[in-house]
Chain A
Amino acid sequence: MPGRELVCTCEDVTRSDVEKAIQHGHTDMESVKRYTGFGTGICQGRGCMSQVAGLLHRQGAPAERLFPTTPRSPLQPTELGQLAVGGELPPLFPGPQAPATLPPPSMPPAPVALEPLPERAEVVIIGGGIMGLATAYHLAKNGITDVVVLERAYINSGASGRNGGGIREQWSTEQNVLLMNESIRICSEFAVELGINVWLRQGGYLFVTNKPEQMAAIERNVALQNRLGVPTRILKPQEATQIVPDLNTQDLLGACYNPDDGTLFPWPFLWGYANGAKAKGAKIITFTAVTGIDIEAGRVTGVVTERGRIKCNLIINAAAAWAPEIGRLAGVTFPNKPERHEILVTESLKPFLKPLVSELGTGLYFSQSGRGEIVGGLGDPEEPEGVEMRSSLRFAVRMSRALVNRIPRLAHVKVLRQWAGCYDRTPDGNPILGYVDEVKGFFQVHGFVGHGFMMAPAVSKYVGLYLAKGQEHSIFKDNRAARFKEAGTNRAETLIIG
């Protein structure tokens, strides 16, 4: 059968799969990789990277714009037990001496001629991550179809394409519990509504802790969650091994488990929302960075990009880690700080781990993906602020130690790659939503502290209803940017993971 020859034999990607991806508009190497899965198996693209480039080249991509996808360490599969070295940790990289805001990471060049920018639009959304794309979809669904989304690189290039795919109702504030209840419902219907699988798997979230102060927090949070109808249970360490038999519980004091939480595969979420928005008339423009915001008489009048200007009266800032930078372009200061969080993925194994496991107090989290890999991360208390997406040896060592400690059977499991993305951290762990006082027509949807991905389905729906139908949800009142300047702000969210 023509086209049936395999390009990537690790993940069984055929030539026609690659050609279909190109037809779907995935015309740069990183996007084709994400859509087809080529190069994500044991050989990490050694046998297929140049084949895919050859196919793109034959379809008209100029050679000088074709680069391989970022080669991730380890370059050969390496056992967690070998990376979990003893002794002193490697120092922070790039370290605290790095400037607070580094120049933005280099991204691959745009692969093909880009479509011209429209002269004007009713709404311009800055940021083609999940929040921006989902907001475009909900605006269009509610009647505002003249929407342009501006993305500086490719779809999935930021935190939306770099996260662990966790989705949970276990939160510490009523608003977040209810929001996430709604999000999980939307996720379970996503494939039918938006025509693409997101591989939602409700294997639960198992929080464990060895810190006495966290046990009190668990009891408080579970009481709140139960009151709101979430079936979270508090478990003794021994009971946790009924859910994860290989869990090391020696040092644990307790755990809590909600079977309705789960994981999903982040990338198709973005394609689904992007295609849904496009089908209703919105424009998604990639590889176009915003360089300025036009303001006249205290009101936004347009967005300046490296390729020209789009006039508009409403700008939505959904730029996450870059949101404070976008704010500065409009003369508005936000307190969010970008902060690198690193993550790794192992070889794929037959299913053995049902829930996402997370340690309260250390920030370790890991789960088994729909494809069988262990995916997980671990925050670093020493991490300085700044947009930084390089990987570090220190993380490889810390993460491997933490995984081998929590599940000793993972010692012989091999890491395939590690990467990083940025949290968009606010002082109280809650997002920044709604209009700002300083400039009219400048709407904010950011500051989700690494949890924007799971909150986007519900939040974007409420943004759509608010801006298109005038139905204002309480999240917009409670999460105004102005709260940081006022006394007695809303309750801080404490269940921040990673």
Chain B
Amino acid sequence: MSKKRYRKLEVPGRFTTPPEFTVRFDGKSYTARAGESLALTLLAHGVYVVGRSSKYHRPRGAFCGRGECGHCLAQVNDLPNQRLCRCQSQAELRVESQNVVGTAQFDLLSTLDWLFPQGLDHHHLMIESKTLNRVALAMAHELSGLGRLPPAPTDYVAPHPERRKVEVAVVGCGAAGRAAFDVLRAAGREVVVIDSEPVTGDGVLGGLRVIGYYDERYLVAVGADRLLWLEADQVVLATGGVEQLPQVPGNDLPGIFSRRLTERALAAGILPGQRVVVAAPKSASSSTRNCARALVMQLLDAGADVPATLGLGSNSGAALSLEGGLGEVEGQHRVRAVHADGGGDVFSCDALIWCGPIAPAYELPRQMGLSTPYQPTQQGFVPEHQGDGRTAQANVFVAGEVTGIEADQAAAHGAKVAQAVLASRTAGASSVEVRHARA
């Protein structure tokens, strides 16, 4: 263990004992604490860049922190494309950056990015001559792919799914799902709630991700050592939402963090940066702004410098509170400065907290036969539903942020939807009947 590997982004005064073990990233050791994700461990050491993107070899580092985006992919103990935000730090884990020619920080092929400022049009690459075309495509193939083929498992045994039937399945144990689950359980329903987070409790199936609604019958969920084929008479979909990147130049740079990642980092005693700008879009709701402003307070309390907030209203607590939104993010390998919208103000910083729109997680509702048209006001696809969560599918309900409501109303909505579930159930209702969207 190298004694020089101090953790420069720990919240001052938060820890009285040293870290517990080390993990390795690209050959260097980093101290880590149990309970941190690999993404947070590396962030604590100021490691922002963990790999390179598929086409232009742009730098990549954690953004969403919840296993939704694909920004923090790396090879972990020879397994490719692991989301570091979903991997718990453990002693001697071996993490390697992917798609790197050189180092994650200085990648030779990142020259592609500035050699082709207009973008590289792969459809029309070298189509003038048969010979050149052949060579260009062969080269492109050699450069393709993220990660390497992993070794064969030494002790592979085909898993056996655990098959269960319940009256009600709630998907998602956020505020809405939890509230719905509690009401249904209190009413004596045979109910389970599934969530990818390691939540626990009676009827709570934590650490399982629902990977689809198969054969108009099974909710299939996968965990580290668990595989579940679940059948339910009624389903409450509280799948929540996915934080979206800002749509400004430089929007994919490492050092741009979602609100939820920031909350997690702070809860783990880790600062996302020393100088942090917090921004929200002009269209942000008052609830989002309130969350963002609370985050500013936490960041200041934790010892970060907040030179400015953008779009959070006046007197946010930062040195400067600008009403305008985000204009551009600047930096080579990671965030170095943030431009306010409309030009003029530029703030040097090492992190940008983006409190952006949350797009409903429509995928499972759609697979269960709900219509999910685009809603411009929500900037996302919202499953069609009534106020109490009922949908065109008699046995499928939606609750919480997936319906486009604000996070602070999710718990109340979950409870209301649970009442609709209780009211709707007819005696002897059999398994979920859904007409699937075909194709």
Contacts and interface: CB of A to CB of B under 8 A. Distances in A.
Size band of the interface chain B makes with A: 35 or more
A50 B244 contact: yes
B244 A347 contact: no
Contacts of B56: 12
A195 interface: yes
Contact of A75 (B134, B138, B210): B210
A41 B158 CA distance: 27
A370 B373 contact: no
A412 interface: yes
A47 B438 contact: no
Given A9-B71, A50-B379, A408 B211 contact: no
A459 interface: no
B214 A73 contact: yes
Contacts of B148: 349-350, 352
B438 A53 contact: no
Interface in A403-460: 404, 408-414
A11 to B, nearest CB: 6
A433 to B, nearest CB: 28
Contacts of A189: 130
B436 A390 contact: yes
A404 B140 CA distance: 28
A139 to B, nearest CB: 24
Contacts of A389: 438-439
User: What's the dominant secondary structure at chain B's contact region?
Assistant: loop
Given A5-B250, A390-B436, A413-B149, A351 B142 contact: yes
A1 B371 CA distance: 37
A286 interface: no
A392 B227 contact: no
Nearest to A392: B215
Contacts of A488: none
Interface stretch (B8-16, B120-128, B293-301): B120-128
Nearest to A76: B209
A73 B130 contact: no
B159 A197 contact: no
Contacts of B125: 197
Contacts of B362: 68, 71
Nearest to A82: B222
A408 B146 CA distance: 20
A192 B119 contact: no
Nearest to A10: B70
A114 interface: no
Given A12-B55, A73-B367, A370 B359 contact: no
Interface string A77-100: 110011011110011011000000
Nearest to A58: B376
Contact of A348 (B133, B144, B212, B242): B144
Contacts, number: 277
Contact of A412 (B127, B150, B161, B371): B150
B233 interface: no
Given A50-B380, A390-B438, A350 B153 contact: no
B81 A197 contact: no
B159 A351 contact: no
A372 B144 contact: yes
A63 B373 contact: yes
Interface stretch (A13-21, A130-138, A218-226, A326-334): A13-21
B17 interface: no
Nearest to B360: A50
B163 to A, nearest CB: 10
Interface string B89-129: 00000000000000000000000000001110111111111
Contacts of A85: 158-161, 227
Contact of A393 (B67, B214, B361, B372): B214
B259 interface: no
A401 B64 CA distance: 33
Main secondary structure of the interface of A (DSSP, over half): loop
Interface string A33-51: 0010000011110110111
A378 interface: no
B154 to A, nearest CB: 10
B260 interface: no
B251 interface: yes
Nearest to B212: A73
Contacts of A2: 249
Interface in B353-398: 359, 361-364, 366-367, 371-376, 379-381
Nearest to B209: A76
A191 B439 contact: no
Given A9-B252, A51-B247, A414-B81, A43 B147 contact: no
Contacts of B121: 20
A382 interface: no
A25 interface: no
B298 to A, nearest CB: 25
B141 interface: yes
Contact of B374 (A7, A67, A392, A412): A67
A409 B78 CA distance: 12
A42 B151 contact: no
Contacts of A82: 159, 222, 227
A351 B145 contact: yes
Given A85-B158, A85-B161, A49 B130 contact: no
B273 to A, nearest CB: 20
A371 interface: yes
A11 B149 contact: no
A53 B382 CA distance: 12
Interface in B144-193: 144-153, 156-161
Contacts of B53: 9, 12
Interface in A45-71: 46-47, 49-51, 53-54, 57, 63-68, 70-71
Given A1-B249, A66-B373, A68-B362, A370 B144 contact: yes
B438 A57 contact: no
Contact of A47 (B147, B153, B220, B242): B242
Contacts of A106: 437-439
A246 interface: yes
A192 B129 contact: yes
A73 B156 CA distance: 23
A189 B131 CA distance: 10
A168 B358 CA distance: 47
B165 to A, nearest CB: 15
A63 B70 contact: no
B322 interface: no
Contacts of A371: 144-145
Interface of B: 53-56, 58, 60, 64, 67-71, 73, 79-81, 83, 117-119, 121-130, 133-134, 137-138, 140-142, 144-153, 156-161, 209-218, 220, 222, 227, 229, 242, 244-245, 247-252, 359, 361-364, 366-367, 371-376, 379-381, 436-439
6 contacts: A9-B60, A9-B252, A76-B222, A85-B158, A93-B216, A408-B153
Given A75-B209, A78-B211, 17 more contacts: A2-B249, A6-B251, A42-B146, A43-B68, A50-B380, A54-B376, A63-B376, A68-B362, A81-B153, A191-B127, A197-B123, A349-B80, A350-B147, A350-B149, A370-B137, A390-B436, A390-B439
**4 nearest A-B pairs in the assembled complex, by CB-CB distance:** A372-B145, A73-B212, A74-B211, A86-B158
Interface of A: 1-2, 4-7, 9-12, 14-17, 20, 35, 41-44, 46-47, 49-51, 53-54, 57, 63-68, 70-71, 73-78, 81-82, 84-87, 90-91, 93-94, 105-107, 157, 188-189, 191-192, 195-197, 199-201, 246, 268, 271, 347-352, 370-372, 389-394, 396, 401, 404, 408-414
